[in-house]
């Protein structure tokens, strides 16, 4: 990175502070920005003038005037550009185009076959470019592409280290994709992308300690402490691979007895198959339908899974004492039997002294929400260090 002088670094920081203030607080009068950010009126005027020149912010007149001029507010210009978010899954991709406030403009899902990465990257780029054209957007206004991947991602290097779900290892996703797309490309673990969007634009606005836990094809964890995503040395969040039964069922990661080997969608389908309730070709939906139509065995599989999941949430509450946990993912399609098991376990297994401190929020997030999360990767970059 080029050496940045102190003066221009300060300027960047001040710009970033003002943009983020407007992102969090919405339209604000200049005088309130001055009061709340701790910059002089002159400095705020100069920086907001620059940001207006770059079209990042606009003036808005809102509310009633008290006789004289209408008060003028400054606001983020959501349409100064757009970003694309992609969630790559085992058999499909979800893609979303969002504006600068992470509001979804267009979204769709496309069937996708995982194969050699280089071939897949070209296919993904084509899907993205076609989608931008279909949406009638100017390709020149695309600010970047964020990609959420199911696995361990080295965000510093932009490398997917390992994904048991799609079978890739050590792939330089950012480098290759940004070359093909000719815009910045950022990647992250898919649960982190979702967590990031909650933190920057969603339920997590203003929260210091929260987490998102997702269940479905796998079990994922996004962890926010002190208002930032916690990554450990890079691979943090692999809650699905905590061992609940040493020497137990074999897991895709190569170990035995992982949580995921018991309560992921494929694990539950397998369990129901072994009990003779469904065939090998059936899906998790068949199992849920069976439980809903009164099969006691199916109900038991699902409520047991809910209990194990709820115990995991309680373990997290015991370790991290977060303000809230957002629970999402397609596994919630298992319905009331699952949720009842989860709630019972969460109550029972949270340490008595910590009970009632952490709330659970259910977010029936669909694949669009995940793709929107991936778009958040680019928005974060823009807000942290405005271009221009």
Return residues touching Zn ion (CB under 5 A). 241, 251, 253, 255, 258
CB of 169 to Zn ion, least distance (A): 16
Least gap, CB of 360 to Zn ion (angstroms):
24
CA 91 to chain CA centroid, Å, is 19
| DSSP conformation class of 162 | E
Q: Which is nearer to Zn ion, 139 or 250 (CB)?
A: 250
Closest to Zn ion by CB, 209 vs 255, is 255
List CB contacts of 140: < 8 A, sequence separation 6 or more.
none
Instruction: Report the residue number, 250 or 364, with the smaller CB distance to Zn ion.
Output: 250
Distance CA 151, CA 160 (A): 7
Q: Which DSSP helix (H) or strand (E) runs through 98?
A: strand 92-98
Dihedral of alpha carbons 177, 182, 188, 193, sign:
negative
SS3 277: coil
Tell the smallest beta-carbon distance from residue 151 to Zn ion (Å): 12
Identity of the residue, 92 or 255, whose beta carbon is nearer to Zn ion in the bound complex:
255
**Residues 298 and 272: beta-carbon distance below 8 Å:** yes
Q: How far is the CB of 253 from Zn ion (least distance, A)?
A: 3
Q: In the bound complex, what is the minimum distance in angstroms from residue 142's beta carbon to Zn ion?
A: 37
In angstroms, give the least distance from the CB of 312 to Zn ion. 13
Shortest distance, CB of residue 90 to Zn ion, whole angstroms? 16
Q: Specify the residue, 255 or 300, whose C-beta has the smaller distance to Zn ion.
A: 255
Look up residue 209 and give its two tokens.
């300690």
| Token pair in block for residue 50 | 């620059």
**Residue 57 or 259 having the CB closest to Zn ion:** 259
Which own/partner contact pairs does 29-36 have at CB distance under 8 Å and 24+ positions apart? 29/71, 29/72, 29/73, 29/74, 30/72, 30/74, 33/74
To Zn ion, the closest distance from the beta carbon of 61 in angstroms equals 56
Task: Decide whether 34 or 243 has the Cβ nearer to Zn ion.
Answer: 243
Task: Report the C-alpha gap between 168 and 170 in whole angstroms.
Answer: 7
Instruction: Specify the residue, 258 or 374, whose C-beta has the smaller distance to Zn ion.
Output: 258
CB closer to Zn ion out of 87 and 241:
241
Token pair 């898919």 in the structure block, residue: 190
The SS3 call for residue 224 is: strand
The token duo for 13 is 């920081």
Minimum distance from residue 99 beta carbon to Zn ion (Å): 38
Any residues with CB less than 8 A from the CB of 177 and at least 6 apart, and which? 121, 124, 125, 145, 147, 185, 187
Least separation in angstroms between residue 313's CB and Zn ion is 18
> Which of residues 102 and 166 has its CB atom nearest to Zn ion in the complex?
166
Query: What is the C-alpha separation between 29 and 44, in angstroms, rounded?
Result: 11
Sheet holding 28-29, edge to edge: 28-29, 72-76, 57-61
Nearest to 327 by CA among 362, 357, 358: 362
Q: Helices marked H in 182-254 — which ranges?
A: 190-201
């Amino acid at each position: 990175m080029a050496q940045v002088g102190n003066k221009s670094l300060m300027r960047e920081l001040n710009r970033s502070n003002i943009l983020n203030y407007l992102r969090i607080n919405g339209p604000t009068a200049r005088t309130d920005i001055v009061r709340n950010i701790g910059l002089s009126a002159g400095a705020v005027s100069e920086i907001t003038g620059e940001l207006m020149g770059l079209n990042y912010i606009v003036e808005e007149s809102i509310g009633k005037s008290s006789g004289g001029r209408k008060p003028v507010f400054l606001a983020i210009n959501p349409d100064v550009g757009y970003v694309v978010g992609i969630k790559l899954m085992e058999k499909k991709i979800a893609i979303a185009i969002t504006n600068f406030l992470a509001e979804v403009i267009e979204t769709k899902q496309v069937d996708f076959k995982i194969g050699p990465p280089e071939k897949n990257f070209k296919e993904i780029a084509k899907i993205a470019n076609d989608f931008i054209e279909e949406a009638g957007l100017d390709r020149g206004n695309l600010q970047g592409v964020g990609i959420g991947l199911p696995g361990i991602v080295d965000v510093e290097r932009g490398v997917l280290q390992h994904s048991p779900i799609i079978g890739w290892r050590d792939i330089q996703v950012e480098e290759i994709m940004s070359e093909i797309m000719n815009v910045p490309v950022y990647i992250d673990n898919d649960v982190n992308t979702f967590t990031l969007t909650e933190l920057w634009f969603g339920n997590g606005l203003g929260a210091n300690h929260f987490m998102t836990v997702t269940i479905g094809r796998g079990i994922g964890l996004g962890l926010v402490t002190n208002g930032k995503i916690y990554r450990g040395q890079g691979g943090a969040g692999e809650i699905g691979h905590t061992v609940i039964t040493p020497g137990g069922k074999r897991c895709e990661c190569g170990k035995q007895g992982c949580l995921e080997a018991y309560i992921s969608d494929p694990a539950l389908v397998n369990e129901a198959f072994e009990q003779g309730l469904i065939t090998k070709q059936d899906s998790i939906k068949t199992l849920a339908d069976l439980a809903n139509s009164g099969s006691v065995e199916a109900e038991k599989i699902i409520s047991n899974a809910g209990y194990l999941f709820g115990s995991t949430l309680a373990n997290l509450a015991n370790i991290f004492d977060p303000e809230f946990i957002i629970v999402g993912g397609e596994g919630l399609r298992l319905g009331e039997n699952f949720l009842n098991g989860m709630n019972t376990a969460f109550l029972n297994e949270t340490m008595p002294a910590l009970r009632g401190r952490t709330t659970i929020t259910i977010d029936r997030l669909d694949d669009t929400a995940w793709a929107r999360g991936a778009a958040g990767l680019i928005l974060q970059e823009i807000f942290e260090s405005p271009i221009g």
